[in-house]
Structure 1
Amino acid sequence: MRWTSMLAIYVLFWAFSVFLVLPWGVRTTQEAGGDYVAGQAESAPHEFRLGRLAVRVTIVATLLFALFAANYHYGWVTPAMLDLFDRAAVYNAA
């Protein structure tokens, strides 16, 4: 696999991981015991720490990408294993 392909796939894993990690450790203002700001939604997070989120996302994305790359190299799960409807047999019979 080329390094540019690996970089593009890593970026996709990173973007997916943002949505996976975003709700971890979120506390509302009520849960944190803080004061509401005028117009603030009750479900809004009390503090948003972009740096902490970026570190967590990078760790999760790197682990997921490492599993993907290892599977690509060693072939643990192949497309043939995921073919639930056995389409290869249908095309070969025709």
Structure 2
Amino acid sequence: MRWTSLVAIYILFWAFSVFLVLPFGVKTSGEAGAALVPGQAESAPHTFSLKRVLLRTTAVATVLFGLFVANYEYGWIAPSQFDWAGPVEVAD
């Protein structure tokens, strides 16, 4: 596999991992015991640490990408293993 393909796939894993990591560790103002700012939604996070999210996202994406590359190299799971229904026959 070319290195440009690997970079593109890693970026996809990273973008997916952002949405996977975002909900973890979030506390609302009500949970933190702080007063709401006028106009603030009750479900809005009390604090947001971009650095923490970026680090967690990079760690998760790297692990998932490593598993993807290892599977690509060693062939643990092949696409043919997902063909449970068999070939589709088309009537003329």
Per-residue deviation at 1:83?
Answer: 1.0
CA distances 1:5-54 after superposition (whole Å, capped 9, x unpaired): 00000000000001100000100000001121110000000001111000
Aligned length in residues: 90
CA-based RMSD: 1.5
Identity of aligned residues (%): 62
Q: Read off the aligned partner of 2:3 and give its amino acid letter.
A: W
TM-score normalised by L of structure 1 = 0.91
Query: Which residue pairs with 1:9 in the alignment?
Result: 9
Long gaps (5+) in structure 1: none
- Deviating 4+ runs (over 4 angstroms): none
TM-score normalised by L of structure 2 = 0.93
- The 2-side partners of 1:38 and 1:5 are apart by 47
